[in-house]
Amino acid sequence: MKQRAKHFAISAHHGQRRKSSNAPYITHPVRVAERLEAAGFGEELISAGYLHDVVEDTPYTIEDIKEQFGSHVAYLVAAHTEDKSLRWKERKQHTIDTVRVGGKEIKQLIIADKLDNLLSLEADLANQGDAVWDHFNAPYDQQKWYNQAIAEVMYNGINQEDIPDYFKTYEELVHRIFVS
């Protein structure tokens, strides 16, 4: 299933580029899935890592994901898919709320994604300086609010044994980028 999900994501994201680095977009979902695999998670969660942006950023639907990968993978992808018809702050508040009340797999998927985004942002800040903020739909202060809010709620309702090491890495990175 993991390899099918990877190939599906590669095909779905073909030609897409990352916002600020212009790298092929697929590098992001691959890193998210690899982080989930390195943390020891199962095939369905890893597959959702590959597929997490497919519905949000391509013509594919949750039904397409469900048909190809089953209802659990579709559920995880749906939980992480933003409604692009909403304004930026509404979409981000929905993600914060999802992290606050979501189950462990939803939290594990979303934090793996957000961590990869911040690692890319940190590298872009080192290369481009504050000009990197021009590539985003919201300015620095809104990005700070969003990432700090996720860091504050990501531990809610999750057992210690279900918290992967990368949660702490995310927390440290939020502090390094937005507080230090």
Digit-coded pLDDT (tens) for 35-76: 999 999 999 999 999 999 999 999 999 999 999 999 999 999
Q: With both helix axes pointing from N to C terminus, report the angle between 71-80 and 43-51 in degrees, rounded to the nearest 10.
A: 50
What pLDDT is stored for residue 11 in this prediction? 95
Going by C-alpha positions, the residue among 32, 20, 24 that lies closest to residue 136 is 20
Distance CA 38, CA 85 (A): 34
Distance CA 148, CA 175 (A): 8
What pLDDT is stored for residue 41 in this prediction? 97
Mean pLDDT of 152-177: 96
What pLDDT is stored for residue 30 in this prediction? 97
Share of the chain above pLDDT 90, in %: 81
Domain interval for residue 52: 2-178
Number of domains in the chain: 1
pLDDT band at 154 (very low <50, low <70, confident <90, very high): very high
Mean pLDDT of 138-154: 94
What pLDDT is stored for residue 133 in this prediction? 83
What pLDDT is stored for residue 97 in this prediction? 97
Does residue 180 register a pLDDT over 70? no
Active site residues: 56-57
| pTM for this model (two decimals) | 0.94
What pLDDT is stored for residue 98 in this prediction? 97
Domain containing residue 69: CATH number: 1.10.3210.10
What pLDDT is stored for residue 72 in this prediction? 97
CA atoms within a 13 Å half-sphere pointing along the CA-CB vector of 177: 30
Digit-coded pLDDT (tens) for 88-133: 999 999 999 999 999 999 999 999 999 999 999 898 888 888 888 8
Q: Give the chain's mean pLDDT.
A: 93
What pLDDT is stored for residue 3 in this prediction? 97
